[in-house]
Amino acid sequence: MRFISGNEALAQGAYEEGLRVACAYPGTPSTEILEYYAHIPEIDAQWSVNEKVAFEVALGASVRGARSLCAAKHVGVNVAMDPLMTSAYTGVGAGFVLVSCDDPGIHSSQNEQDNRLFAKAAKIPLIEPSSPSEAYAFIKTAFQVSEEFDTPVMVRMTTRISHTKENIVIGTRKDIPVRPFTVNVPKYVMVPGNAYKRHIELEQRLVRLKQYAEKTFLNTIEINNREIGFITSGVSYLYAKEMYPGASFLKLGFSWPFPETLARSFSKKVKKVYIIEELEPFLEEHVRLAGIPCTGKHPSFRIGELRPEHIPYIVRGKSKEEKASGARKPVLCPGCPHRSVFTVLKKLKKIVAGDIGCYTLGALPPLSSLHTCLCMGSGITFFEGFGKAGERNAVGVIGDSTFVHSGITGLINAAYNKARGVIIILDNSTTAMTGNQPHPGTGVTMQGEQTKKLSLEDLCRVCGADSVDVINPRDVTALEKLIIRRTRENALSVIIARYPCRFVLKVGGCPPAYDKNKCKKCYMCLTVDCPAVRKSEDGYIVVDNSLCAGCNVCVEMCGPGALERNKTKHEA
């Protein structure tokens, strides 16, 4: 028995089911699935450079005969959409599962799309666990379904299932040998003539999958009070069960292709049918298509995470009552190397095309110096777009991991299409946002082994940057001069602002010394928005030594010299 999270339970279940290859790019709430495999020798696990690559490597392993898995956060599946759509045509070799971890409520994402729609769009079966123990059990069935029907399978998790912990009785690993590879050009080479035939095969497979959905043990009916019948899936089932324990339920663990006959027979056993689901009215549309009278949720419930207390509102057909969230404002960590870059960009009044990572926090006051953030890679492409619209004061910023994920093509495009200006790669030598995973620029694998190290400076040069500078962003004055110099040139420049994240460095520095007598209470030190520096009741400054990482960016901002540099342990 082990007390593990939904992600760990799913990872363990897949391990027991003979998984051999696992690929992902980190992304909340999916990250722990791959981290589980880092030290399991039977599984070849990797941080891939992005989700498209992860999907293809894993699918390639499946086509060659090894059971494989690709995990991604919901928006990661967007990146893998191109291979996903056609993989439904080719089918698989050995079992292949795509785990989509969705983020209703947008705890840590750029949107809250419902990836159940993607399973339907891609025409692959959809399995929805509602708890860690089901994640453990259902992933096994997912591999079996994948092989039985020769299809990729989507297992859809959501934040609450991924991160909830439960006691799970775990088992042992099955020995499932790698299958031999048989050349099968009509199946695996998707040129129009072959693809057309595979599409026919795919539609026939969907008919068989629908029949499977009608009888699989993943879909269960619980008949209790016949006045109220809930059709539900995923964590929404638990919420409905918690609020209406005596009601009847059709719980769909295999929700697409939709088991119409099962839903119809359930509806005949109860007086009224309610659909309980998070985000899109996915089940509801299918229930209505089947001609089953039902009550769905008010459209206000398409937004945000569902909570148990919402269920009575849905039953009464009412809208959601929004309560103001009392969430603390997020802030860059003390010692974060990104802080000084945004301080300088603010001073220079730049328009900043931003991207996704810890550094997106540069958008918040008082730094307020990141002005757009759409998706991974858009820091560079938006920078180019701004230029095409005539903007000469724009700067693009992108993190090192994000640059490798999807910034490289944007840089090549910018160079090829004669963009001018400055792109800053915020290189803290890690993927900090998702918990400090390594990436090719770090030269370390998921397992902590040394590997080929990607030189970002060499790469930027061959992509077509006219100049590439590497600078320590802790030297605020030098950074400012460099940005001014490069923006004045009629060229495409990349500045790599390189200093490790404090969670990579793991060494603190000495907090600065503070002399009250020199302090003019100008509060320039507060403009860098460091949690370690604050104003006390008497209007003077307090440096919290327990938080301070000794980066001295506040010292650089202090005109009167009241804050003075101590040599940091790292720099000494």
Binding site for ligand TPP (CB under 6 A): 25-27, 73, 75-76, 79, 109-110, 356-359, 376, 399-402, 426, 428, 430-434
Toward ligand TPP, which CB reaches closer, 91 or 441? 441
- DSSP E strand stretches across 35-82: 44-47, 68-73
Which amino acid, one-letter code, is at 95?
G
Q: How far is the CB of 217 from ligand TPP (least distance, A)?
A: 33
DSSP annotation of 437 reads B
Q: How far is the CB of 143 from ligand TPP (least distance, A)?
A: 24
Place of tokens 């840089």: 411
The three-class DSSP label of residue 398 is: strand
The angle that helices 378-388 and 408-416 make with each other, rounded to 10 degrees, is 20
Answer whether 434's CB lies under 8 Å from 28's CB.
yes
Vertex 372 angle, CA 370 and 378, to 5°: 115
Q: How far is the CB of 359 from ligand TPP (least distance, A)?
A: 5
Toward ligand TPP, which CB reaches closer, 104 or 399? 399
Toward ligand TPP, which CB reaches closer, 219 or 430? 430
| Tokens matching residue 3 | 């007390």
Q: How far is the CB of 443 from ligand TPP (least distance, A)?
A: 15
Altogether, the residues listed in the chain come to a count of 572
Toward ligand TPP, which CB reaches closer, 162 or 434? 434
Answer whether 145's CB lies under 8 Å from 206's CB.
no
Toward ligand TPP, which CB reaches closer, 61 or 356? 356
Query: How far, CA to CA in Å, does 505 sit from each of 432, 448, 500, 571?
Result: 12, 15, 6, 12
The three-class DSSP label of residue 395 is: strand
Toward ligand TPP, which CB reaches closer, 266 or 359? 359
Q: How far is the CB of 401 from ligand TPP (least distance, A)?
A: 3
Toward ligand TPP, which CB reaches closer, 70 or 75? 75
In 3D, which of 327, 479, 317, 513 has the Cα closest to residue 395?
479
Region of residue 421 (phi > 0: left; psi between -120 and 50: alpha; otherwise: beta): left
* Cβ atoms within 10 Å of 499's Cβ, excluding its own: 24
CB-facing half-sphere around the CA of 437: CA atoms within 13 A: 27
* Cβ atoms within 10 Å of 72's Cβ, excluding its own: 29
Q: How far is the CB of 50 from ligand TPP (least distance, A)?
A: 7
Q: How far is the CB of 304 from ligand TPP (least distance, A)?
A: 18
Toward ligand TPP, which CB reaches closer, 87 or 100? 100
CA distance 119 to 490: 47
Q: How far is the CB of 441 from ligand TPP (least distance, A)?
A: 8
Which amino acid, one-letter code, is at 505?
L
Q: How far is the CB of 48 from ligand TPP (least distance, A)?
A: 11
Q: How far is the CB of 104 from ligand TPP (least distance, A)?
A: 15
SS3 for 208-271 is HHHHHHHHCCCEEEECCEEEEEEEEEHHHHHHHHHHCCCEEEEEECEEECCCHHHHHHHHHHCC
Which residue sits closest to ligand TPP, CB atoms considered? 399
Toward ligand TPP, which CB reaches closer, 75 or 135? 75
Toward ligand TPP, which CB reaches closer, 105 or 296? 105
Q: How far is the CB of 502 from ligand TPP (least distance, A)?
A: 11
Query: How far, CA to CA in Å, does 195 sit from each of 188, 191, 421?
Result: 9, 6, 44
Toward ligand TPP, which CB reaches closer, 109 or 340? 109
